[in-house]
Structure 1
Amino acid sequence: MELAREELAKKLKEDFPIFKTGSFAYLDNAATTQKPKQVLEAMEHYYHAENANPLRGLYELSLKATEAYEEAREAVAKFLNAKESAEIIFVRNATEGLNLIAYTYGRAFLQEGDEIMLPVSEHHSNFIPWQQLAKEKGLKLHFLEPNEEGIITEESFRAVLNPKVKLVAMAQVSNVLGSIQDIKLFAKLTHEIGAVFVCDGAQSVPHTKVDVQDLDVDFLVFSGHKLYAPMGIGAVYGKKELLEKMPPFLFGGEMIEYVTKEGATWAELPHKFEAGTVNVGGAVGLTAAISYLDKVGFSFIEEREAELCAYLMEGMEKVPHVHIVGSKDPKRHHGIVTFTIDGVHPHDIAAIFNSNQVCVRAGHHCAQPLMKFLGTPSTTRVSLGLYNTKEDVDAFLAALKTIRGVMGYGE
């Protein structure tokens, strides 16, 4: 089975035109993924044959564009198992989605003295909006700390949870540690005190099947570009009863029902949150990416990334002076492995990998509070995708073994 999955990964790699432009190992999938020809061709067809401003045009091209856009919404709703497509709001990315929730739900329903809980391990996109909202409205932030495995435990969650908490924000999968949190449990505990739960699905939605009804989260966001779709398209899932109560995020065209000199009324869901000309081409690409993932199947994706992550970590552990951050169990990493090397700055590490045609990411990974918690200013990260092969990992490991020597340590 493992051999069969390796062969399938090699076959899938042929769907991605960028890998025909040169010989390199792309291992920065947590930052963004490459795009299959099915996505590129779908977008090209849209712009060649169906491009128009959608929603209000009554001519054929505009109607086709409207149909393509709303089909994308239906595809996302089905993909996440939302109750209906009106619960899906298109945005540019997960960052914009989290800001939408903070600025609309947060401003409208959180009051001075209310409290927000979030892990110290959150990406800045799920950290700064709540931090700034707290400053603006006089809210209190509670920070949850992960254990050595990168996990927020039920015990630590319950220890902070209290009746003043009105919102909990948490990533399902950490973009640094790769650890997955028990979102279903934490959403249940959050609801027991009458608070709402916001889930950052940027690192989980591309790698595992996410069912928003089963998780019972109130909001969930993701970015299309981490999902083999184009940049500039993402989505917010929100429970309809909450979205209906929330004010708009942006004002202008398309999000209105009626305007006078004295005021305005808003369009019905989901359009009241989608001001201005929408990204139909990106939505078409997202539809194609979802279709592609459905055909590949999440059972393959999860099994493949798990076995490749185990192979990766086994090789890394054999290299002296390399330290994996977080759990030593590959099953805890979900394709994301962050590490340090004694005496070598992460930027130098990434530069040496680059000279060996291996693409990795170095820095604080937009998670500086987590870096401070871990006691290191920055790290290097390798992250896997469905098209990665053992050859990619072997190229990474071969370069890894040379880094200390290149930096003059004689090892």
Structure 2
Amino acid sequence: MIQQGGAFLNTDIAVVGGGASGLCAAIEAKKFCPAADVSIIEKLPKCGKKIIATGNGKCNLSNVNLSSEKYHGSVNAMNIINNAPDCYEFFTKNLGILCVEGSEGRQGGLYPSSNSSSTVLNALRLKIQELGINEICGFDVNSFRQIKNGFALYSLNDQICCRKLIIAAGGYAGTSFGTDGSVLRILKDMGYKISRISPAVAPLRVSQNQLKGLKGVRAKGSISAVHKGRILRTEKGEIQFNENNISGVCVFNLAYLFRDYENLVLRADIMPHMTENELADYLFCIRRIRRNYPLEEFLTGLFVKNMSVYIVKNVLGKSPESKISSLSDNDIKILSYRIKELEFNVTGCSSWQNAQATYGGIHADCINSKLESVLHKGLYFCGEILDTVGDCGGYNLQFAWSSGITAGRNCGISLKGDYYDKNK
């Protein structure tokens, strides 16, 4: 049992990390082995801080459009999701949370009907209290090792021993939520294969010179990640131009590609509802009716002023004060082409503080179908620490729930089997 206030603590199952996957893992472990003493080990003063921030505080629980194309990494996320209980049923029947399809601009996103992430966290806490699961907060794991009949976890001053261990410590994204990658570094030192780490679901950085004049501009369109002329992926949505990066959900869904491709280019089509020829015809018409106005007014009615001036200056290299009548037919054709293919050279991904997820982590070679380690029997993994990342729109939380349920369930069943073998 846990002896609060002591330096040496014992528990049957320790879950390192009190985030989405860790809370689900603890609940499932206790459900499948009711006799077990289950403890959640969290480095922050309270569990679930990152859950509160998800979905802009509305908690995008999942998405009705789940598919393998939405996940990236060595771990097969859809296999885990398909073999875990349905997310909708888990929340409605087990936690009493009514899920509805949201209208946040992300097709198919599932949200709590309250539209509040605190509802989800409170429901999880109620279940944890009901099951008698311990929460040990303020315990920062700086090392752990396998011992006889289990594992020993160490913080600066304290030690916890457990028979089974579930690691749900997250990755590097969102450092203010306690996920700084420290546990991944420990695991690497223990011999685990860690896929290359990179921020994901994040803005992509572009040089300030390429974005000069566009800060604060938003444009609906499509945007592609291009490498050596080959389009890797295209997303549609609102493109947001900032001082030194480009963001928006459509860009977030391309960010993971930066890890594997050098010299990545973002190609934006900010007039997606027109073909290049249709746009050219329209611009010829505008040249005729506005011929005596300055060039800065040429694209008025199509784009906001900042974007209009940016295109004239950067595509044609002309002064915005020049007359529209100075545009040649070839200028119009160039404008039509470039408006459909505005290109920006990616210089990097945004910082971990601005990233919503981690691309990379514990490689699939290190786990079995039960999410148990192949190196240390009795050790399980779930959540963002595994090498898989989903698109923006509830996909990462869905994997957190499903992997947490899977790891917790298998851990509980394994411990229950140990009890049975011991008492035969």
Same fold (TM over 0.5): no
Greater helix share, structure number: 1
TM-score where L is the length of structure 1? 0.24
Q: Which of structures 1 and 2 has the bigger CA Rg?
A: 2
Greater strand share, structure number: 2
TM-score where L is the length of structure 2? 0.24
Ranked by relative contact order (alpha carbons within 8 Å, sequence separation 6 or more), the top structure is 2
